């Protein structure tokens, strides 16, 4: 038996008292009153914030959506099947955020930024709120730096600048996703990253985007955020905000980010579903009153930052699907009002085999020539005007029986100019190739060709320039201007190639 002296006991007790650290943990908890369709009504979550993350008893995470006087409505980010009435809910005090890192490049993730490509977890030391304020007026500068897409139809007539928001709109199966993804290979080596947000798309379509990106070597600077058609509305809705947060991470690190929202029509439908289930008041076409705000929040975050912030940029290409060409519908007009222009893809052109099926006449870029390389500005000034005049003349000429020679010549020129923007997929063109192609059209060099010969002629002309007149590219590429010195070898190349091409056609 060990004898313990009283002074030893008192010293032990004193030591314990000195080491005692009083810590009070306060949890904001509530109880589930009703649950169904991924929506839970919770009583007792006093002081919960709008958009705050809440944790259910089964470990499922939700977001507080409706804040009413006696209860809060929360949407579950999981299937919510294990959540039951009477179970407890705990407020986390956190707004939704995602991990961000360069390690996410080349990966496919879901809305909470968890990898879903089977390549394991990704380490990230930083995180960003998925909802963050857009850069203010002082933090921005005017859009001035061109974002070359490699597509003549866009770069010559509807130029896009870094930091711009350009809507891609059209009916289904008109090539909207293809136009957006065809801009990707041209971003290589330009300190640029790309975020492709797939909302409510078929899993096979997302897989095709990933496979195509890997084949083109673009996946190494790409992040794909995918919430497919079988994902619940509560997962599809935050996907654009996750993509915007990932792109912002690069923008504030002096990089250039290109984000594609494919497409915002599906996100609006998910938002409508999320709002109708908690019995929020419906508005036009049953969409909630804040559906415009849900689109403006991610799109307004696109910006060209000021010199003080490093001149990083985030360029947004939102995609909206129309029904039977109904552009004045609710969602298309909302997004048009937010963006800096639109690229309209026509079902008629698509059915006629025109690729890309861009209707140049009604497409517009509000950045205009400020976001265009000087060389393109010099040669493409007349192109859009002539195409618009041709479309108008073509419509009126159908009812005219007798046309004068000048009108016939203008129609013939327009038919050949309409062949210029046609490109195979994917075949992005360099600046000098676009300048040469556009100049050949607007200068009338294609007038001597049959319409069916134009595409073959232009492809061979670009090859002829590379092999026989390399000085044209050497003059144009560094300065991005079309000078008289550059015009001389181009005119020589067009003349020589036209003679050999026509001679070959006669022999055939």
- Looking at the structure, do residues 149 and 269 belong to the same domain, yes or no? yes
Is 173 annotated in a binding site? The answer is yes
- Looking at the structure, do residues 295 and 443 belong to the same domain, yes or no? no
Q: Domain span at residue 466?
A: 379-385+420-507
Among 42, 75, 95, residue at a domain's last position: 95
Residues 166 and 175: their CA atoms lie apart, in Å, by 16
Is 176 annotated in a binding site? The answer is yes
Residues 400 and 388: their CA atoms lie apart, in Å, by 19
- Looking at the structure, do residues 78 and 166 belong to the same domain, yes or no? no
Indicate whether 175 belongs to any domain: yes
Q: Determine phi and psi for 272, rounding to 5 degrees.
A: -60, -45
Indicate whether 273 belongs to any domain: yes
pLDDT reported for residue 400: 59
- Looking at the structure, do residues 88 and 142 belong to the same domain, yes or no? no
Is 269 annotated in a binding site? The answer is no
- Looking at the structure, do residues 89 and 121 belong to the same domain, yes or no? no
- Looking at the structure, do residues 77 and 189 belong to the same domain, yes or no? no
Among 42, 62, 95, residue at a domain's last position: 95
For position 85, which CATH number holds? 2.40.30.20
The whole-angstrom distance between residue 110's C-alpha and the CA centroid of its chain comes to 16
For position 454, which CATH number holds? 1.20.150.20
First to last CA, the chain: 117
Is 175 annotated in a binding site? The answer is yes
Residues 151 and 423: their CA atoms lie apart, in Å, by 7
- Looking at the structure, do residues 253 and 341 belong to the same domain, yes or no? yes
* pLDDT < 70: residue spans in the chain: 1-4, 22, 24, 79, 398-401, 508
For position 164, which CATH number holds? 3.40.50.300
pLDDT reported for residue 368: 76
Q: Which residues contact 504 (CB under 8 A, 6 or more apart)?
A: none
pLDDT reported for residue 2: 55
Indicate whether 21 belongs to any domain: no
Is 476 annotated in a binding site? The answer is no
Among 313, 344, 372, residue at a domain's last position: 372
- Looking at the structure, do residues 88 and 135 belong to the same domain, yes or no? no
Indicate whether 391 belongs to any domain: no
pLDDT reported for residue 91: 92
- Looking at the structure, do residues 238 and 291 belong to the same domain, yes or no? yes
pLDDT reported for residue 229: 93
pLDDT reported for residue 272: 94
Is 479 annotated in a binding site? The answer is no
- Looking at the structure, do residues 176 and 277 belong to the same domain, yes or no? yes
Indicate whether 458 belongs to any domain: yes
Active site amino acids:
366
Is 234 annotated in a binding site? The answer is no
Indicate whether 119 belongs to any domain: yes
Is 172 annotated in a binding site? The answer is yes
Indicate whether 310 belongs to any domain: yes
- Joined together, the tokens standing for residue 226 give 């995918």
Task: Provide the whole-model pTM.
Answer: 0.89
- Looking at the structure, do residues 83 and 123 belong to the same domain, yes or no? no
Q: Which residues contact 170 (CB under 8 A, 6 or more apart)?
A: 176, 321, 322, 344, 345, 346, 347, 350, 357
Indicate whether 5 belongs to any domain: no
The structural domain count of the chain equals 3
- Looking at the structure, do residues 54 and 111 belong to the same domain, yes or no? no
Q: Determine phi and psi for 105, rounding to 5 degrees.
A: -65, 135
Asked if 227 contacts 200 with a C-beta cutoff of 8 angstroms, the reply is yes
């Amino acid at each position: 038996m060990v004898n313990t002296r009283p002074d030893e006991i008192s010293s032990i007790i004193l030591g314990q008292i000195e080491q005692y650290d009083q810590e009070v943990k306060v949890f904001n908890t509530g109880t589930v009153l009703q649950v169904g369709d991924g929506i839970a009504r919770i009583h007792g979550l006093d002081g919960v914030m709008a958009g705050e993350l809440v944790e259910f008893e089964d470990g499922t995470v939700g977001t507080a959506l409706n804040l009413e006087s006696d209860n809060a409505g929360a949407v579950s980010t999981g299937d919510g099947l294990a959540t039951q009435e009477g179970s407890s809910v705990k407020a986390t005090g956190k707004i939704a955020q995602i991990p961000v890192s360069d390690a996410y490049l080349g990966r496919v993730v879901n809305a909470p930024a968890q990898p879903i490509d089977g390549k394991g977890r990704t380490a990230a030391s930083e995180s960003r709120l998925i909802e963050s304020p857009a850069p203010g007026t002082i933090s921005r500068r005017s859009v001035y730096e061109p974002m070359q897409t490699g597509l003549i139809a866009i770069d010559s007539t509807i130029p896009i600048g870094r930091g711009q928001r350009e809507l891609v709109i059209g009916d289904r199966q008109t090539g909207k996703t293809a136009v957006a993804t065809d801009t990707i290979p041209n971003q290589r080596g330009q300190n640029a990253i790309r975020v492709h947000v797939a909302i409510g798309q078929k899993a096979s379509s997302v897989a095709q985007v990933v496979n195509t990106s890997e084949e083109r070597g673009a996946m190494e600077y790409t992040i794909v955020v995918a919430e497919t058609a079988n994902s619940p509305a509560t997962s599809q809705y935050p996907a654009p905000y996750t993509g915007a947060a990932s792109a912002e991470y690069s923008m504030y690190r002096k990089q250039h980010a290109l984000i594609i929202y494919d497409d915002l029509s599906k996100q609006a439908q998910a938002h409508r579903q999320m709002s109708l289930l908690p019995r929020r008041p419906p508005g036009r076409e049953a969409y909630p009153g804040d559906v415009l705000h849900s689109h403006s929040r991610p799109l307004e975050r696109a910006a060209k930052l000021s010199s003080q912030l490093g001149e990083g940029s985030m360029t947004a290409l939102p995609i909206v699907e129309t029904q039977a060409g109904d552009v004045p519908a609710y969602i298309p007009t909302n997004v048009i009002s937010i963006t800096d222009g639109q690229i309209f893809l026509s079902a008629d052109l698509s059915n006629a085999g025109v690729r890309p099926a861009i209707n140049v006449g009604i497409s517009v870029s509000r950045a205009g020539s400020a976001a265009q390389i000087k060389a393109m500005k010099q040669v493409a000034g007349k192109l859009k005007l002539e195409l618009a005049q041709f479309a108008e003349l073509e419509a009126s000429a159908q009812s005219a029986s007798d046309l004068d020679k000048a009108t016939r010549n203008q129609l013939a020129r327009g038919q050949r100019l309409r062949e210029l923007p046609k490109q195979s997929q994917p075949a992005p063109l360099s600046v000098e190739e676009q300048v040469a192609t556009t100049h050949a059209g607007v200068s009338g060099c294609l007038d001597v060709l049959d319409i069916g010969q134009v595409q073959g002629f232009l492809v061979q002309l670009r090859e002829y320039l590379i092999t026989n007149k390399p000085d044209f590219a050497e003059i144009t590429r560094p300065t991005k201007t079309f000078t008289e010195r550059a015009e001389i070898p181009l005119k020589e190349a067009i003349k020589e190639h036209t003679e050999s091409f026509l001679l070959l056609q006669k022999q055939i």
